[in-house]
Amino acid sequence: MQLKINETLIYFEKDLAKLEEFCGNFKLNKYFIMIDQNVYNFYANELANYFRACKIVIIPSGEEHKNMETVLSICQQLLEANITRGDTIIAIGGGVATDVCGFVASILYRGIKHLMIPTTLLAMVDATMGGKCGVDFNGRKNILGSFYEPKGIYISPYFLKTLPPEQIESGLGEVVKYSFLAKDINLAKEDDMINIIKEAILIKKRYVEADFKDKGMRMCLNLGHTFGHAIELKEKLLHGQAVLEGIAMIFDLETDLGLDVKAEKELFERLLTKYNLHIHHYDYKNYLDDIFKDKKNFNGTLNLVFVKDFMPYLYPVTRGDLDDKIKL
């Protein structure tokens, strides 16, 4: 299956058999591979069959390396290898690798072409889609970044066979989020992994194409992320795990505000059971100071993503209003 989100061509394939065909769509001149260290350890020999005579830049694995130091190191390596404005970067890895690659591509020569081959479930259903890319800075998640779409994405569950179980769980955290973003696509009834990935991307496509620069409707994709980002760095959770905690915290906040989310909570619990996911149930009140430092804070007002009738909506609130309403 092939799909387009804005100008990004997406291939969905069971294995790597069409990787050469995929790359042929972009008339590659000279290209450079940016690959996650762990992925390189597993797949270097196999990927060498498809990518020959190119500069390979290894990206250290782990969220702690998603920073400007890594970005500047990569830019230096690429410039020393004589990358030019007409060349292409190909990112291979999970969300850290694809975020860093997208950011590098957006700033080098004010923008060069890049392709993405996500290797984690989280990257397949979320991180590579929609053109958002960035790095963490000063203890804040994705605070430096840009909007810069890849020209193509090659998605295959083939890579998931070497993925640790906790990384699968992290990807499923984003899948659970999508279950509250579209009434006509029921991810709770889907079991086949490739179909789960396709349907999650179809949901995200709607929001991205309606609001690419994240000024309104697209903000709803941040369900669970405002609290999630706050605890991801503090508690050292994987991203999808933090999103699940963030969704639970949002439902608790809605309940304290007198909103009826009983049915949504029940669906949430069914999804956790379906995917064998577990959460700690952090107290959202302990993270209110943190969420108002989020990049989505506009002049003291934060757009929280709430859910009503199994669909998201934006709930603008100031810290003072929130304190008054929940009677801290």
pLDDT value of position 3: 87
3-state DSSP of 302-317: EEEEEEECCEEEEEEE
The residue count of the chain comes to 328
| Residue 298 pLDDT > 90 | no
pLDDT value of position 187: 82
Q: Domain spanning 2-162 has what CATH number?
A: 3.40.50.1970
| Residue 328 pLDDT > 70 | no
Confidence of residue 321 (pLDDT cuts 50, 70, 90): confident
Instruction: Spell out the domain ranges in the chain.
Output: 2-162, 165-326
| Residue 213 pLDDT > 80 | yes
pLDDT value of position 263: 95
Q: Which CATH number fits domain 165-326: 1.10.3720.10, 1.20.1090.10, 3.40.50.150, 1.10.760.10?
A: 1.20.1090.10
Which DSSP string corresponds to 97-117?
HHHHHHHHHHHGGG--EEEEE
- Determine which helix (DSSP H) or strand (DSSP E) holds 89, and give its type and residue range: strand 88-93
Confidence of residue 281 (pLDDT cuts 50, 70, 90): very high
Q: Once rounded to an integer, what is the mean pLDDT over residues 249-273? A: 95
Q: Once rounded to an integer, what is the mean pLDDT over residues 107-114? A: 96
Helix axes 165-178, 262-274, angle to 10 degrees: 150
pTM: 0.90
2 or 70, greater pLDDT: 70
